[in-house]
Structure formats: C-alpha cells, structure tokens
Chain A
C-alpha cells in the first residue's frame, strides 16, 4: 500500500519561497507513475500545481509555472515542491498525490494527508 506524507514549514513570509517535501512509502517512485502537487485554499476548491516523473520530467500549471519547481529524489523516494515569491493568495493546504494512469485515464490516488502553509509576516 503506497502512502504519501508531506512535510515542511507551516509558515512562510511574503515574497519568500515555499518548500515542501513528499515522502513516498510502500512503493517505489521509479514505477510508471507521475507524482503531483495539488493545493486547496481555505474554503476553496482544488488546484493542480504540477507533477514530476521519476526521470525528472515535469509538467506545471501555466498559471503557476513561472514560480514553481518540482523535483524528484529517487534515493530518498521523495519529491519536492518549491513555490517562489509567495503572497497571501498562496495560503492553502498542499497535498501530494500519485497520478495513476491506466488506458490513458489519469487519476489521483492515493493522496497525502495535506499540510497547511500560511503566508504571513
């Protein structure tokens, strides 16, 4: 059973960089899956941030692309999110999730428990 767990600072100053890590257990990141970050602003819906493959390939949401970096660390079986130049609008619960692909259908499963990151001075 694959489990994901996010970690990182819960408070980031405006204009700073948000940095989170997602540790994958119970399975290898070298499997044929993409690995994603999704966020949810307080009281709002879900927004896909981007994803990485074990090869290091990435795809990003165009609305965040200029500020986002997602990277993979295979020896540690984890992947990371960096979001630069944050503002209060980036305050959200950040989730990591595995992207399962079967017959060209993509879905997110499982998800990490989520981590609340607040942008405030």
Chain B
C-alpha cells in the first residue's frame, strides 16, 4: 500500500492568511496526487488533480505543487468558505487508492 501522511493535522488561520498544507507519500508517485476539500456534512470536492492542475471552477487562490513523494497545497488568501478539511489522495496505485488523514483548517 502507498501510505499518505499530511501535516499539520490541523491549523488555525485568519481571513487573508496564506495557508500551506503538506502531503507526503510513502513511495514515489510522480505527479499522481490529488487534493480535495470537505466541508462539514458534505462530500469531498476536487480542488487539484495531477499535483498542480486546478479543477474547473475552483478559485485561483488554490494551488498545488510537488512531485515524487512531497506535495503542497497552498491557499494564498484564505476566505471564509475555505475553513474546511483538506485531503490528499494518490492516484498512482490504481488498484488501491489511498487518502491522507486530512488537515483541518479552522478559525484562529
């Protein structure tokens, strides 16, 4: 299995802050890494696919970077609707997709 870890597990931020979330894979997954946002009681929503491609309709303040084992999701100017939980997911091993444990972004 490819294990995914995320850091931090939670963070507190204010509106307008720059937020960075890190995801690490247990082996090289090239750029097969996706990011999702989950609001409470809602389904996850795709933000970034292929490590850095922004899903249609997602605000440009979201960006992704990285390759190999280390990846980053950045929110350049946090908005009220961005307080949520963020998950990374590897799409490299297509016989066993795995997700990171999530990062909670809450209000400072």
- A59–B36 Cα gap in the complex (Å)? 22
**Chain B contact residues, majority secondary structure:** loop
**How many of A's residues come within 8 Å of B, CB to CB?**
23
B43 touches A114 (CB 8 A): yes
B94 touches A111 (CB 8 A): no
**Chain A contact residues, majority secondary structure:** strand
A113 contacts the other chain (CB 8 A): yes
Cβ < 8 Å to B, chain A residues 66-121: 95, 100, 102-114
Which bracket fits the contact residues of B?
20 to 34
A111 touches B45 (CB 8 A): yes
Q: Which residues of B are in contact with A by a Cβ distance under 8 Å? A: 31-32, 34, 36, 42-46, 49-50, 55, 87, 89, 91, 94-102
| Residues on the B chain within 8 Å of A100, using CB | 49
A47 touches B91 (CB 8 A): no
B50 touches A105 (CB 8 A): yes
- A47–B31 Cα gap in the complex (Å)? 21
B87 touches A113 (CB 8 A): no
